[in-house]
Amino acid sequence: MTASPSASSDMASSRIFETLKQDLIRGRFAAGEKLAISALKDHYRVGLSPLREALNRLAAYGLLEQVNQRGFRVPAMELEELDDIAGLRAQLECMALTQAFQAGDSEWESQVLAAHHRLRRADEHPEQVEEWEQAHLRFHRALLASCGSHWLLRFIEQLHDQFDRYRRLAPPNPAVRKALDRQHGELVELALSRDIRAARALLDDHIRLSHSVARGCCESPASDDDT
Amino acid sequence: MTASPSASSDMASSRIFETLKQDLIRGRFAAGEKLAISALKDHYRVGLSPLREALNRLAAYGLLEQVNQRGFRVPAMELEELDDIAGLRAQLECMALTQAFQAGDSEWESQVLAAHHRLRRADEHPEQVEEWEQAHLRFHRALLASCGSHWLLRFIEQLHDQFDRYRRLAPPNPAVRKALDRQHGELVELALSRDIRAARALLDDHIRLSHSVARGCCESPASDDDT
DNA sequence: TTGAATAAAAAAATCGATTTTATTGAGATG
DNA sequence: CATCTCAATAAAATCGATTTTTTTATTCAA
């Protein structure tokens, strides 16, 4: 482990929080599923207290729902919500992009370039899915990092996690991946040239494309008992 | 049960969460203060487990900060952050307002009128601060409720709570209160006439006014040891 | 006097057990 | 046959005690 600095120094509740968060985003649990706390306890080899604290944090974050005296459940996945998440994500990220372009200095440019380079490297190993996912997340983070608004970045991160829950349902598609990657490259160029208008349009397209892919995959399970 | 559905049926951790949340927003704890868990336990008469779960949720919500093995602390209050919160709040609320005006039906209009009426009633009793605060929050909620985006409303609520932490520091000011209340009335009229442009400008002013008042109060303590 | 090392105290985090609440299913009743 | 009651079971929530970590206080050497 080179990249993650504070993995072993964190307390148990933080570790299990991160692990559970990733597993939820990766779709390891079925949507709507009720979490059996003692089963989680055994599976993740953690005590009850750290586990419950992590579950509470995840509920506050929106990756779990807490029902009064009935424990925790994985939120249902609905087409309507995906549209909401994607639409708002596009708006907020365009907002942040504008501010990032206006405030970004050369250090920001360097970080964007570096993150893009790592993303391209990760692209060379399609079998290492999680590596690419992390590089992808970090690229988008780097692009908006200089926007100056702590809270805007926080909300965007939250929406990104929510969006990924849906996006990750879709099977890998090389053609789409290729198109998205071209857009990443173009975004870097537009960042360096500070072309706000073009970059906004491109980022909007970028999210729209991911959205439509996720949408196609989200529809099918819902229409099972509906058509 | 008509008005307060799940007040007494909630479990202890939810009750203490709400109580602590209100106390944090009301400024009962000093900014930057470290929370002594066992003191809280005694003060609120709750057990350790529900208390810790509530603290974890509040940290995920952004009303507390958790330091690795060092417990919880109240976030510092900085002018810079207030500006961030107010600016983003204005942008997100204007966004929601536009969508609310476009999607709002007559039921929404009724709820806005009802909430405004309750706010005016609460205004008649300036000594009951909390009543007014609740009515005020509910009015702004009602105004945006029909915007159609669950996640946008969620973020706006979160920002509102953060903003109130700052706003509540300022001493009551009848003149300001009067100006704000006039704006509430004008917002209702513009909602009924669906004048999006004017309403956006007014809401922006509304937040800007609150912001400048809070700003004036936030500056003084910071400049104590700085000038 | 300062500063590192260490012991004592306090606080946070975690564990195991208990209490409370929801769920299930068998038997009674209409 | 459906529905209701009530015990039995399972699960969630909470408690009290223990373990781990940090903070404070103290000692001793430079």
Q: What is the pLDDT of residue A218?
A: 78
Supply φ then ψ for residue A72, to 5 degrees: -115, 145
Question: Is the predicted pLDDT of residue A9 greater than 90, yes or no?
Answer: no
Question: Is the predicted pLDDT of residue B16 greater than 70, yes or no?
Answer: yes
CA-atom Rg of chain A in angstroms: 19
Q: What is the pLDDT of residue A127?
A: 87
Tokens 């965007």, residue? Answer: A156
Which nucleotide's C1' is closest to A67 (Cα)?
A: D12
> Across residues B149-158, what is the average pLDDT?
98
Tokens 């399609």, residue? Answer: A126
What residues of chain B have any CB closer than 8 angstroms to a CB in chain A?
A: 6, 9-11, 13-14, 49, 52-54, 56-62, 68-69, 81, 84-85, 87-88, 91, 95, 148-152, 154-155, 159, 162
Residue B193 DSSP label = T
- Tens of pLDDT, residue by residue over A60-107, are 999 999 999 999 999 999 999 999 999 999 999 999 999 999 999 999
A interface test, pick of B57, B61, B95, B159 with most A CB neighbours within 10 Å: B57
> Across residues B47-56, what is the average pLDDT?
97
Could you give the count of Cα atoms lying within 13 Å of B15 in the half-sphere of its Cβ?
Answer: 14
Residue A63 CA to residue A83 CA, distance in Å, equals 17
- Tens of pLDDT, residue by residue over A112-157, are 999 999 999 999 998 899 999 999 999 999 999 999 999 999 999 9
Please report, rounded to a whole number, the percentage of residues in chain A having pLDDT higher than 90.
89
CB A154 to CB B49 under 8 A?
A: no
What is the value of ipTM here, to two decimals?
0.92
Query: What average pLDDT does the structure give for chain A?
Result: 92
* B227: confidence class by pLDDT, cuts 50, 70, 90: very low
What 3-state DSSP class applies to A26? coil
* Identity of the residue in A9, A52, A85 whose CB atom sits nearest the CB atom of B53: A52
CA-to-CA separations, B124 to A145, A161, B3, in angstroms, rounded:
46, 45, 22
Residues 70-129 of B with CB under 7 A from strand C: 70-72
Domains in chain A, please, with CATH? Answer: 12-73 (1.10.10.10), 79-222 (1.20.120.530)
List CB contacts (< 8 A) between B14 and chain A: 68
Supply φ then ψ for residue B78, to 5 degrees: -125, 145
- Tens of pLDDT, residue by residue over B64-120, are 999 999 999 999 999 999 999 999 999 999 999 999 999 999 999 999 999 999 999
* A5: confidence class by pLDDT, cuts 50, 70, 90: very low
List CB contacts (< 8 A) between B57 and chain A: 56-57, 59-60
The residue that leads in pLDDT, B225 or B208, is B208
Q: Which ranges of chain A does DSSP label H, i.e. alpha helix? A: 12-25, 37-44, 48-61, 79-103, 106-123, 129-144, 150-167, 174-193, 196-222
Question: What amino acid is encoded at A46 in this protein?
Answer: V
Residue B20 CA to residue B26 CA, distance in Å, equals 10
Q: Residue B88: which H helix or E strand, with range?
A: helix B79-103
Question: Is the predicted pLDDT of residue A172 greater than 50, yes or no?
Answer: yes
Q: What is the separation, in whole angstroms, between the first and last Cα of chain B?
A: 56
